[in-house]
Amino acid sequence: MAKEKSKKKHVPQSYSTKLLKRVNSTKFTRLELMKFADEVHRLKPKYRDFEGRAITAIRFFENSDRAMSAMFRMEAFARIVSHGRLDGWTRPGDKKGMSLTRAVLFDAAVRRRGRWF
C-alpha cells in the first residue's frame, strides 16, 4: 500500500502578520534610514508627531510601502533607545529631542533577517 502524501494545511494569516512580513522584507540601506532620521529631525518639534513623520517618510521615500516600512522600523528603533535599552550606544543630544547614536545601530535597523516585531 502506497503512503499517502500529506498535504500541508493552509493556515490563514491575519492582516497583522501579512503587514509585518511586508515591513520586515523591505530593504533599506543604513544611509537611507540615517537621512530619513535627519529629515524628521529638521522638522519643528511640534510637527514631529506621527502625522509629520509619516508625511516626511512619504516625501522622502516616494513609495508608500517603503515609507510605511521605514516608519515601523524607526518607531521600533526609537522605542528601544527611549527605554534606555541601548545605554552605552547612545548619548543625549540636543534640546530638540535628538539622541546621538552610533551608525552601527542603523545597520541593525536595516537588517532583513530576523524580525523587529
Beta bridge partners, 100, equal 91
Split at pLDDT 50, 70, 90, the class of 116 is very low
Rounded-to-integer distance, Cα 108 and Cα 117, Å: 13
This prediction's pTM:
0.67
Domain boundary assignment for the chain: 29-110
Q: What is the pLDDT of residues 16-64, one digit of tens each?
A: 888 888 887 888 888 898 899 889 988 998 998 999 999 999 999 998 8
Rounded-to-integer distance, Cα 25 and Cα 22, Å: 5
> What is the number of residues in the chain?
117
Split at pLDDT 50, 70, 90, the class of 8 is low
Query: Rounded mean pLDDT of the chain?
Result: 76
